[in-house]
Amino acid sequence: MKIAITSSGMNLEDQVDLRLGRAVGFIIYDLEKDTYNYVDNNQNLNAMQGAGIQAAQNVVNQNVDAIITGNCGPKAFSVLTQAGVKIFIGAEGAVKEAIEKYKNNELQEAQTANVEGHWM
Amino acid sequence: MKIAIASGKGGTGKSTVATNFAYLLSKIYKDVCLLDCDVEEPNCHIFLKPYFNEIEKIYVETPVIDVEKCVKCGKCAEVCQFNALAFVKEKVLVFQELCHGCGSCVLTCPVNAIGEKGREVGVIEKGVGCGFDFIHGKLRIGEAMSPPLIKAVKKAGQEHNLQILDCPPGTSCPAIAAVYGADYVFMVTEPTPFGLYDLNLGVEVLRKIGLPFGIIINRSGENDKLIEDYAKTQKINILTKIADDRKIAECYSGGELVLRALPEYKEAFQPLLNIVREGI
């Protein structure tokens, strides 16, 4: 299975980006093969609105089962849950540390959005 | 003829100029209408105390997906420039509040599976105050999209001979929606570093859209050189100056038209009338 981690860079040593919609990019990590690739989020960094929705849709299209991030707003939460992607919030530090925590079941699965939307 | 009163910076005196200029015009010309396009915080009515005889709700058309007809191609979400639609796991998700009502999704859908439902963005009210026609828009509380309502206000007033548009401050969509299509723009500023900075932003926008404009210095006084130097280097006309006079401030705070209480200030508005004369 694959998971996505919001990342401030292209490598596992880079920091988890605490934002989802306007994260710098995503590390897509394959838990079985222990490999990863990087997907940038340039398109949404400059989006005037709806960055969370679009980013969530892109993450879903990577066929991941879960996403690890710092914070998740209501619209991204809605897209991800409707697509059956589990959301783990409150991650921080290097991407590889977040992956380790995920493997050890140390991350909390979000039941609701933990931050407010930016549009109403 | 359409004259827009804009500023860049907020609180420079747009509404003061707009209400008093419309009042003065109505004494000379027939069929003057003041349009308060600052639908997020309309306040011209405070000075006009108009009698409203017409109220109309304004809607933005937002998409409704017919799940039976949908062929799950995802083209609607792709075409949406406002991220109001998402396509995940063979399902279209609609975020009504992000929709600008452009209709692209409806046109793009290959099987006509998208219908439209109105979202109320606010109301426009039409009436008469101080002897001339007046129209303003009031954005629904919680609504984030003001341009559709601003356009509705402008449309409601388009038949009038002389339209004076009181525009919202700033340089983003609401300000642009308001000034767009004007025959001339009065840029109201104040002689302060803030006034100058935001004036320059506004000027850049107007030049990009290609609208003719001139500057009005409000609260004019000892620091006017700040604006005058700028106007000179930018080759922009300073149309008139309105003095920094406590009596004007008293009128304003009492909700009174300056030209009614202090007719001597008609002098300051005379150069603005020339713009109308030349335009007609």
CATH number of B60-120: 3.30.70.20
Contact call for A49 and B98, based on CB within 8 A: yes
Q: Minimal CA–CA distance to B17: which of B171, B138, B167, B131?
A: B167
Q: Closest residue of B to A51, CA-based?
A: B83
Q: Does the CA dihedral B160-B163-B169-B170 come out positive or negative?
A: positive
Please write the tens of the pLDDT for every residue from A4-45.
999 999 999 999 999 999 999 999 999 999 999 999 999 888
User: Residue A97's CB: how many other CB atoms inside 10 A?
Assistant: 15
Q: Closest residue of A to B100, CA-based?
A: A49
Burial label for B193, CB within 10 Å (0-12, 13-18, 19+), is exposed
With an 8 Å Cβ cutoff, is A49 touching chain B?
yes
User: Residue A39's CB: how many other CB atoms inside 10 A?
Assistant: 16
Q: Ranked by mean pLDDT, which of A72-76, A90-94, B84-88, B162-166 comes out on top?
A: B162-166
ipTM of the prediction greater than 0.90, yes or no: no
What residues of A are in contact with residue B97 (Cβ under 8 Å)? 119-120
Residue A120 pLDDT: 47
Residue A29 pLDDT: 96
What residues of A are in contact with residue B102 (Cβ under 8 Å)? none
Residue B97 pLDDT: 85
Q: Where in chain B is the domain with CATH 3.40.50.300?
A: 2-49+130-279
DSSP state of B254: T
How many residues would you count in chain B? 280
Tens of pLDDT along chain B (280 residues) come to 999 999 999 999 999 999 999 999 999 999 999 999 999 999 999 999 999 999 999 999 999 999 999 999 999 999 999 999 999 988 999 998 889 888 999 999 999 999 999 999 999 999 999 999 999 999 999 888 899 999 999 999 999 999 999 999 999 999 999 999 999 999 999 999 999 999 999 999 999 999 999 999 999 999 999 999 999 999 999 999 999 999 999 999 999 999 999 999 999 999 999 999 987 6
How far does the CA of residue A49 sit from the closest CA of chain B (Å)?
6
With an 8 Å Cβ cutoff, is A45 touching chain B?
no
Gyration radius of chain A's alpha carbons: 13
Please write the tens of the pLDDT for every residue from A95-116.
999 999 999 999 989 888 888 8
What residues of A are in contact with residue B89 (Cβ under 8 Å)? 60, 82-84
Q: Minimal CA–CA distance to B146: which of B170, B181, B115?
A: B170
Residue A119 pLDDT: 57
Report the C-alpha gap between A95 and A92 in whole angstroms: 8
Residue B100 pLDDT: 87
Residue B280 pLDDT: 64
Using CA atoms, how far residue A8 sits from A19, A41, A118, B62, B176, in Å, is 9, 10, 21, 35, 35
Residues 163-202 of B with CB under 8 A from A: none
Q: Which CATH number fits domain B2-49+130-279: 3.40.50.300, 3.40.50.2300, 3.40.50.720, 3.65.10.10?
A: 3.40.50.300
Report the C-alpha gap between B1 and B71 in whole angstroms: 49
Under DSSP, is residue B127 helix (H, G, I), strand (E, B) or coil?
A: strand
The domain defined by A2-109 folds into Nucleotidyltransferase; domain 5 (3.30.420)
What residues of B are in contact with residue A113 (Cβ under 8 Å)? none
Under DSSP, is residue B30 helix (H, G, I), strand (E, B) or coil?
A: coil
Q: Minimal CA–CA distance to B152: which of B184, B121, B173?
A: B121
